[in-house]
Structures are given as structure tokens and as C-alpha cells.
């Protein structure tokens, strides 16, 4: 048995229920781990609302860090007592005990706490691929990142700044401006009060930016395309304000011959080599102080509903976690 958050229908935060669940029999290549700390991610709200459909009833959550307590007969990579973290399906991280395939786990270095690992792995690996693989950002680039005071924003902006590019960030309120600056933004625009596309073009002397990283989606889409330079790249990696409705070749892509990609951390870490490489880059960036982690809020498992309410109400100014 394990305490776990379950949903039996899609909807608002109220569909999250804390239950005692029976655990299935461990498969030969599976590991049973005791979660110490769980990552709170915007994708959890898409799963809960049904934007990204799940088979119901279902657990929720894709990121956690804990200790191996039992292993299947054919598990080779880990032993009982190992400290491990994950950022992947199968869903169900909001739980005391979680079963994961061994190939989806990474070792957590001894000098990194479970709290830090679970606040950083999914968001950090996302930043790793966005900055180094989707588009290889260099010191010559000027880039725009939306929601620069958010969870991914905290890590992305610090890491981008270490690369030495010119970084423009957007935020939704005045109080988040200082946070985005502290994270490393050279310029911060409040996109609820200012026209961010116009301001970005002013900052870049009308040239536009090399890349836009857009996790906001519907609300920022048109403006993001406007801010791009000729042959720039639009990276749409999330839907915090709702999904983009339509992308038109003639209207959005052809005029400046831009590139559009819709990446996700899962296909960027789908092989064992990629997962190990990406996690290593994140843990090293943390140890080398390229990124500092400030966990802005810690919830208990029974407060999962409140955690989702706060995240969707834009109250969180950085990464948050759920403790078991």
C-alpha cells in the first residue's frame, strides 16, 4: 500500500484526491522506490485537466527523488539503498512509494539533496536541451524567454547568462521583474502591461531575436513570431496560458522563413545515453554554481490541490516541491 494522489476524472485542482493505493507486483526490470521529494511541474496540471489525456483512474506527477527499497529480479543498474531520481512516465510521482523502470532512473550524487534533485531534474534537463540541443545558444545570440520568473525560468535564465548571450525575459507582474533580473535577464518586460513584441524589437534595434522560447502558448504566440529575426527559431515548449490554436505556413512561417519546433523533455531523454548525459549536465551545472536552486515553496502530499491552485494562479516565483 502507498499514499498517493489519484484522479478519477479530469478537471480543476479539486479532482486531486489523496488515497491509499495497492501497489502492483514488481516487474523484473522495475524498482520500487520511496519518494522523499516530488517535483511540481506545469505538465501535472495538463494531465489533471485532460489537456494531455490519461487513462483514468490515474496517479499524477512525473518527477521525484528517493531511495530504492526493492528491486525486480533482473535489475542491473541500481541496488537497494541507492539514491535515485526520475523525470519521466509512468505517471504517479505524487506518492510515498512509486514503481519505475530502472532505465528511467538516474543516480543522485551524495552531495545533492532529494529536495534539490526533485526541484531541478525535469526543469534542468529541459533547459539543457533547450539551450544546447534544440538550438545551440552562443554568446553572440540574443534570445527571448517567456515566464522568466517561473520554475523553468529560474534555471534557464541563470544557465543562459553563463553562456553569455543577451537575454530578454518576460514576466506577468511587477513583483516578478526583480526575480527575473536576479535570474540573469538583461532586460525584463511585463507582458501583462507592455507590448512585449514592440519592446523586444526596440531592444534589438528592430532586428529581432535569434530564438524565442515560449512556454506560455496561446497568449504569447503571435507576439513571439513578431519578435523573431529573419530565419529565427520559434521554440514552443508549453501551454501555460492554453495551447496555440493554429499555426499557418503563409502567415507565421513564410514571411521571415522562420523555424518552428515543439520539443519535449521526454523525446530528448528517451535513450539511456541521452538521459545520463542530460542529468549529468544538470547536476554538474548545479555543483559548478552555474545554476543555484531556490525552492520557493514546499507542500505536503495532502496539499497537492493547493499546489496546483498556486501554480495555475501564477503565485509561484520559481520551483516548488511536494514532500512525502
Ligand X SMILES: NC(=O)c1ccc[n+]([C@@H]2O[C@H](COP(=O)([O-])OP(=O)(O)OC[C@H]3O[C@@H](n4cnc5c(N)ncnc54)[C@H](OP(=O)(O)O)[C@@H]3O)[C@@H](O)[C@H]2O)c1
- Contact residues toward ligand X (CB under 6 A) are 41-43, 122-123, 126, 147, 149-153, 171-173, 176, 215-216, 219, 237-241, 263-265, 311-312, 314, 316
What is the nearest approach in angstroms of ligand X to the Cβ of residue 294?
A: 12
Nearer to ligand X, 95 or 183 (CB): 183
Nearer to ligand X, 68 or 296 (CB): 296
| 8 Å CB contact between 84 and 65 | yes
Of 305, 142, 170, 292, nearest to 240 (Cα)?
170
What is the nearest approach in angstroms of ligand X to the Cβ of residue 112?
A: 19
Q: Compute how many other C-beta atoms are within 10 angstroms of the C-beta atom of residue 128.
A: 25
What is the nearest approach in angstroms of ligand X to the Cβ of residue 283?
A: 17
Nearer to ligand X, 2 or 236 (CB): 236
What is the nearest approach in angstroms of ligand X to the Cβ of residue 122?
A: 6
Nearer to ligand X, 32 or 167 (CB): 167
| 8 Å CB contact between 85 and 108 | yes
What cell does 135 get?
Answer: 538550438
Nearer to ligand X, 60 or 97 (CB): 60
What is the nearest approach in angstroms of ligand X to the Cβ of residue 222?
A: 14
Nearer to ligand X, 188 or 203 (CB): 188
Which of the 8 DSSP states describes residue 19? E
What is the nearest approach in angstroms of ligand X to the Cβ of residue 308?
A: 11
Residue 272 in 3-state DSSP?
helix
What is the nearest approach in angstroms of ligand X to the Cβ of residue 136?
A: 17
Q: Would you state the torsion angle of the CA atoms of residues 77, 80, 85, 87, taken in this order, to the nearest 10 degrees?
A: 70
What cell does 200 get?
Answer: 523586444
Q: Cα separation of 200 and 308, whole Å?
A: 31
Nearer to ligand X, 2 or 278 (CB): 278
Q: Going along the chain, which residue ranges are E strands?
A: 2-7, 17-21, 30-39, 58-59, 63-71, 83-87, 97-101, 105-107, 142-145, 166-171, 187-190, 209-214, 228-236, 259-261, 297-300, 320-323
Query: How open is the CA angle 322-284-155, to the nearest 5 degrees?
Result: 50
Cβ partners under 8 Å of residue 280, min gap 6: none
Residue 162 in 3-state DSSP?
helix
Nearer to ligand X, 29 or 280 (CB): 280
What is the nearest approach in angstroms of ligand X to the Cβ of residue 143?
A: 15
What is the nearest approach in angstroms of ligand X to the Cβ of residue 227?
A: 16
Cβ partners under 8 Å of residue 148, min gap 6: 156, 157, 169, 170, 171, 176, 180, 183, 185, 188
Nearer to ligand X, 153 or 232 (CB): 153
| 8 Å CB contact between 304 and 5 | yes
Amino acid at each position: 500500500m502507498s499514499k498517493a494522489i489519484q484522479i478519477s476524472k479530469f478537471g480543476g485542482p479539486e479532482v486531486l484526491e489523496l488515497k491509499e493505493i495497492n501497489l502492483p507486483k514488481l516487474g523484473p526490470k522495475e524498482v520500487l522506490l520511496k519518494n522523499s521529494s516530488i517535483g511540481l511541474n506545469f505538465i501535472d496540471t495538463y494531465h489533471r485537466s485532460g489537456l494531455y489525456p490519461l487513462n483514468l483512474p490515474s496517479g499524477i506527477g512525473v518527477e521525484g527523488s528517493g531511495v530504492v527499497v526493492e528491486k525486480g529480479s533482473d535489475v542491473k543498474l541500481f541496488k537497494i539503498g541507492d539514491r535515485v531520481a526520475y523525470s519521466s512516465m509512468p505517471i504517479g510521482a505524487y506518492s510515498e512509494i512509486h514503481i519505475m523502470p530502472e532505465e528511467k532512473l538516474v543516480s543522485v550524487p551524495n552531495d545533492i539533496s532529494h529536495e534539490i534533485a526533485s526541484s531541478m531534474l525535469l526543469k534542468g534537463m529541459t533547459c539543457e536541451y533547450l539551450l544546447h540541443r534544440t538550438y545551440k545558444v552562443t554568446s553572440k545570440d540574443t534570445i527571448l524567454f517567456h515566464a522568466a520568473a517561473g520554475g523553468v525560468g529560474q534555471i534557464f535564465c541563470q544557465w543562459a547568462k553563463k553562456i553569455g548571450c543577451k537575454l530578454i525575459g518576460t514576466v506577468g507582474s511587477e513583483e516578478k521583474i526583480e526575480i527575473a533580473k536576479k535570474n540573469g535577464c538583461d532586460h525584463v518586460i511585463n507582458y501583462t502591461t507592455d507590448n512585449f513584441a514592440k519592446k523586444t524589437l526596440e531592444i534589438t534595434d528592430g532586428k529581432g531575436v535569434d530564438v524565442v522560447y515560449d512556454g506560455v502558448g496561446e497568449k504569447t504566440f503571435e507576439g513571439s513570431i513578431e519578435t523573431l529575426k529573419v530565419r529565427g527559431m520559434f521554440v514552443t515548449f508549453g501551454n501555460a496560458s492554453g495551447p496555440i490554436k493554429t499555426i499557418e505556413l503563409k502567415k507565421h512561417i513564410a514571411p521571415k522563413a522562420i523555424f518552428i519546433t515543439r520539443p519535449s523533455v521526454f523525446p530528448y531523454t528517451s535513450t539511456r545515453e541521452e538521459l545520463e548525459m542530460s542529468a549529468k549536465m544538470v547536476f554538474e551545472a548545479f555543483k559548478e554554481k552555474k545554476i543555484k536552486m531556490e525552492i520557493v515553496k514546499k507542500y505536503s502530499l495532502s496539499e497537492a490541490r493547493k499546489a496546483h491552485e498556486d501554480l495555475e494562479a501564477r503565485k509561484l516565483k520559481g520551483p516548488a516541491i511536494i514532500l512525502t
